Amino acid sequence: MQQRTYVMVKPDAVERRMIGRIVGRFERVGLAIERLELGMVTSAQAAANYAEHEGKPFYEGLISYITSGPVVKMVLSGPEAVSVVRKLMGATNPRDAAPGTIRGDLGLTLDANVVHGSDSPESAEREIGIFFGE
- By annotation, the residues acting in catalysis are 116
Helices of type H across the chain: 11-15, 19-28, 43-49, 59-66, 81-89, 102-106, 121-132
Distance of CA 81 to the CA centre of its chain: 13
Which stretch of DSSP H or E encloses residue 37? strand 32-39
Nearest-angstrom CA–CA distance, 22 and 66: 17
Residue 103's contacts (CB-CB under 8 Å, 6 or more residues apart) are 89, 90, 91, 92, 93, 94, 97, 113, 114, 115
